[in-house]
């Protein structure tokens, strides 16, 4: 049971996903350093544009915020330090678990036949596909699960007394917004009810994973799902 407690912990999630975040920034730098435009996930762009209201050094601000969060969270939970140590065995299990959930979502949606005509924006460059899917897994989970989902849990809990009802409502609302989000931006998909339902179901699935298994595993599940769908013509 210690693994489930460890893997759901927000600090463990940051330790788990931090190497992938560095990889995401590394690919962005070497792919777009001398390019006229930089392609990024839309959720990432939202955070970056907000930071740019105050400073152009986005990466430094992101690093400082993560560092301050880690330090403050560690101090606040200093009595449970053994649960916050870097455990390579548990971290490895988290990657395996996240891969399983992502793969399961692919087969689940294919089994329902809802992906039959879903059009997704595809790149011939597998590195770019990997990079964008990684960005979606990281930043969309931060935006829609960590922030929006938790925000609606807080707001609905003020007016509703039944925890199951406000949890279910928060899952549905955040998943609805998550699905709509994919039709916003320069590289957005064409809206169809078919694809909207797919993404809504996927949002519900990821919200449940986030709630019961934590941010890190939800991020990696999202990334695996996106990368398989974008990179391989399964449908």
pLDDT single digits (tens) 29-57:
888 776 666 777 788 888 777 777 777 77
Backbone torsions φ then ψ of 208, nearest 5 degrees: -65, -45
State the average pLDDT for the chain.
82
Backbone torsions φ then ψ of 221, nearest 5 degrees: -60, -45
**Which of 7, 8, 11, 2 is CA-nearest to residue 84?**
11
Model pLDDT, residue 187: 64
User: Which one has a higher pLDDT value, 59 or 17?
Assistant: 17
**Which of 197, 29, 224, 16 is CA-nearest to residue 116?**
197
Residue 11: give the domain boundaries.
2-231
DSSP helix/strand/coil, 189: coil
Helices (H) and strands (E) in the chain, counts: 11, 0
235 pLDDT tier (thresholds 50, 70, 90): very low
**Which of 46, 4, 41, 6 is CA-nearest to residue 25?**
41
Backbone torsions φ then ψ of 33, nearest 5 degrees: -60, -40
Q: pLDDT for 64-91, tens place per residue?
A: 766 666 666 566 555 555 556 778 899 9
Q: pLDDT for 87-132, tens place per residue?
A: 889 999 999 999 999 999 988 876 655 444 455 555 567 788 889 8
Give me the number of domains the chain comprises. Answer: 1
Q: Where are the alpha helices (DSSP H) in 9-87?
A: 10-32, 42-51, 58-76
CA–CA separation, 126 and 112 (whole Å): 27
pTM here is 0.85
Q: pLDDT for 126-136, tens place per residue?
A: 788 889 899 99
CA–CA separation, 103 and 229 (whole Å): 10
Q: Quick one: the chain helix, strand, coil %, rounded to 5?
A: 75, 0, 25
Terminal-to-terminal C-alpha distance of the chain: 38
| Inter-CA distances, 66 with 61, 113, 173, Å | 9, 40, 27
Q: In this structure, what DSSP letter does residue 214 have?
A: -
Q: Exposure string (b/e) for 3-34, b if CB count within 10 Å is 16 or more?
A: eeebbbbbbbbbbbbeebbeebbebbeeeeee
């Amino acid at each position: 049971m210690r693994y489930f407690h460890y893997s759901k912990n927000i600090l463990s999630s940051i330790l788990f996903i931090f190497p992938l975040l560095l990889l995401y920034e590394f690919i962005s730098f070497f792919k777009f350093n001398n390019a006229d435009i930089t392609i990024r996930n839309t959720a990432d762009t939202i955070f970056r544009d907000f930071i740019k209201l105050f400073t152009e050094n986005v990466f430094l601000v992101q690093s400082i915020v993560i560092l301050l969060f880690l330090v403050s969270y560690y101090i606040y939970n200093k009595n449970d330090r053994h649960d916050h140590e870097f455990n390579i065995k548990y971290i490895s299990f988290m990657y395996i678990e996240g891969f399983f959930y992502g793969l399961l979502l692919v087969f689940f949606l294919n089994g329902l036949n809802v992906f039959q005509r879903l059009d997704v924006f595809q790149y011939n460059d597998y590195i770019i596909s990997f990079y964008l899917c990684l960005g979606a897994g990281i930043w969309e989970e931060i935006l829609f699960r960590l922030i929006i989902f938790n925000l609606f849990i807080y707001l609905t809990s003020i007016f509703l007394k039944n925890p199951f009802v406000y949890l279910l409502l928060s899952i549905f609302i955040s998943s609805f917004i998550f699905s709509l989000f994919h039709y916003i931006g320069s590289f957005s998909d064409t809206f169809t009810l078919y694809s909207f339902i797919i993404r809504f179901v996927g949002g519900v699935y990821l919200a449940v994973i986030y709630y019961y298994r934590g941010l890190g595993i939800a991020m990696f599940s999202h990334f695996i799902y996106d990368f398989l769908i974008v990179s391989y013509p399964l449908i």
